[in-house]
């Protein structure tokens, strides 16, 4: 990433990034500004060999506030490529299982990733709408935290069916490559991206819908950088439902027991990365009796769920997760709504390992449960 002289000069006298960074708050030695400064000193080895490079969440809280628009997550991503080439690799979570699964998907393998859907709803091999499910089937194979990641996919399929849409779904879909790209493994990302683009082109889809914010931003923001303008529309399911549900004739029943207070976790990729803040909130407003109690840190100021790309799950991550859950509880809400499978997994993991009691549920299951 190239920086202008103005950006460099301003950066060296600023500090907004470090003051904004959730990692810097719990790990005092971590400073985005200091990493940039060291990198500018002729590729200082302390950046490439240090662990700080992997501690970054790439949550974009720093870059969204930077007065001279330095994209620090992209800075970190680029240096991670170099660090890997010099033997400095991240600490993998869950024994590297999910990285191994993604790598296998970049090869010629036979999958059965739509097996869950046959008893849930209707889908097709070709058509106008492609539902990109993402890695939820594999998350469930590696992780167990109460309700499964497939609950999200099942709810999305049922919602689309109720709107008269039988989306394309395919066993040949691959991981979107998000984790590979943001872990400095660009080659694997490109292999996965090409396979997915070929698959979607062959389906004839005009619109690709995502329930995972990471998959959405990979297609919306990253793929065009590598492959040019995509030949189909890319939409997150919250955008699609917020546009289509109000006029679809769908009706919602009120919340039971009179406790309709909920709070909402803005995912980093859906919020700061893609600017989608209101559609999830608009969907919650469709349910009678729901009262949205915002956490103090919301929308562009929201805090990351503590880790990304299945790497570097540390004591910093756990501290952030517990603090976020306590912030959610302080709103008076008993239910925390998420729009990201990883947010739900990470916050549920923290909730189950503390004395905090919070109902953590994905937005689509919450909508479906309250639909007439």
pTM strictly above 0.85: yes
* Residues present in the chain in total: 372
**Residue 88: partners with Cβ closer than 8 Å, 6 or more residues away:** 48, 49, 50, 53, 54
Q: What is the pLDDT of residue 39?
A: 84
CATH code of the domain covering residue 286: 3.40.50.1860
46 in the same domain as 131: no
113 in the same domain as 72: no
CATH code of the domain covering residue 28: 1.10.1060.10
CATH code of the domain covering residue 180: 3.40.470
258 in the same domain as 233: no
Mean pLDDT for the stretch of residues 359-371 = 95
- Evaluate if residue 46 carries a pLDDT over 90: no
Given a contact cutoff of 8 angstroms between Cβ atoms, the answer to whether 192 and 180 are in contact is: yes
Mean pLDDT for the stretch of residues 296-313 = 94
- Evaluate if residue 352 carries a pLDDT over 70: yes
Mean pLDDT for the stretch of residues 221-250 = 95
110 in the same domain as 44: no
Considering 34-43, 77-86, 196-205, 348-357, the range whose residues carry the highest mean pLDDT is 196-205
Give the ranges where 293-359 is alpha helix by DSSP (H): 315-330, 341-352
**CA angle in degrees (0–180, nearest 5) for 168-169-174:** 130
Question: Residue 207 — φ and ψ, nearest 5°?
Answer: -135, 130
Question: Residue 88 — φ and ψ, nearest 5°?
Answer: -100, 105
Q: What is the pLDDT of residue 357?
A: 92
Domain that holds residue 192: 94-244
| Extended strands (E) in 193-302 | 207-210, 233-236, 261-265, 291-292
**Residue 119: partners with Cβ closer than 8 Å, 6 or more residues away:** none
- Evaluate if residue 242 carries a pLDDT over 70: yes
Q: How many domains does the structure of the chain reveal? A: 3
116 in the same domain as 24: no
- 61-105 confidence digits (pLDDT tens): 999 999 999 999 999 999 999 999 999 999 999 888 989 999 999
């Amino acid at each position: 990433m190239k920086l202008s002289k103005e950006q460099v000069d301003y950066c060296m006298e600023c500090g907004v990034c470090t003051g904004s960074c959730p990692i810097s708050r719990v790990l005092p030695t971590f400073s985005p500004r200091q990493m940039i400064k060291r990198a500018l000193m002729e590729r200082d080895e302390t950046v490439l060999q240090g662990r700080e490079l992997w501690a970054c969440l790439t949550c974009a809280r720093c870059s969204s506030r930077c007065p001279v628009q330095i994209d620090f997550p992209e800075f970190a991503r680029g240096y991670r490529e170099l660090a890997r080439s010099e033997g400095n690799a991240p600490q993998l979570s869950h024994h590297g299982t999910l990285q191994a699964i993604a790598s296998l998907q970049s090869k010629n393998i036979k999958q059965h990733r739509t097996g869950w859907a046959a008893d849930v709803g209707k889908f097709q091999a070709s058509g106008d709408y492609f539902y990109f499910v993402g890695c939820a089937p594999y998350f469930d194979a590696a992780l167990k935290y109460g309700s499964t990641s497939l609950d999200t996919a099942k709810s999305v399929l049922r919602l689309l069916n109720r709107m008269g849409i039988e989306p394309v779904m395919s066993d040949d879909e691959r991981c979107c490559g998000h984790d590979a790209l943001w872990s400095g493994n660009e080659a694997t990302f490109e292999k996965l991206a090409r396979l997915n683009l070929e698959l979607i082109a062959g389906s004839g889809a005009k619109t690709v819908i995502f329930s995972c914010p990471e998959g959405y931003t990979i297609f919306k923001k990253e793929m065009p950088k590598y492959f040019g303008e995509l030949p189909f529309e890319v939409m997150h399911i919250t955008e699609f439902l917020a546009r289509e549900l109000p006029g679809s004739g769908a009706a919602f029943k009120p919340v039971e027991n009179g406790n309709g207070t909920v709070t909402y976790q803005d995912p980093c990729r859906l919020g700061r990365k893609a600017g989608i803040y209101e559609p999830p909130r608009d969907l919650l407003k469709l349910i009678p009796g729901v009262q949205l109690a915002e956490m103090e840190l919301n929308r562009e100021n929201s805090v990351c769920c503590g880790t990304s790309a299945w790497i570097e799950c540390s004591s910093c991550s756990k501290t952030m997760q517990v603090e976020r859950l306590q912030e959610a509880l302080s709103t008076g809400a008993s239910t925390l709504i998420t729009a990201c499978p990883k947010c739900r997994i990470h916050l549920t993991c923290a909730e189950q390992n503390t004395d905090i009691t919070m109902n953590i549920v994905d937005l689509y299951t919450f909508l479906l449960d309250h639909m007439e």
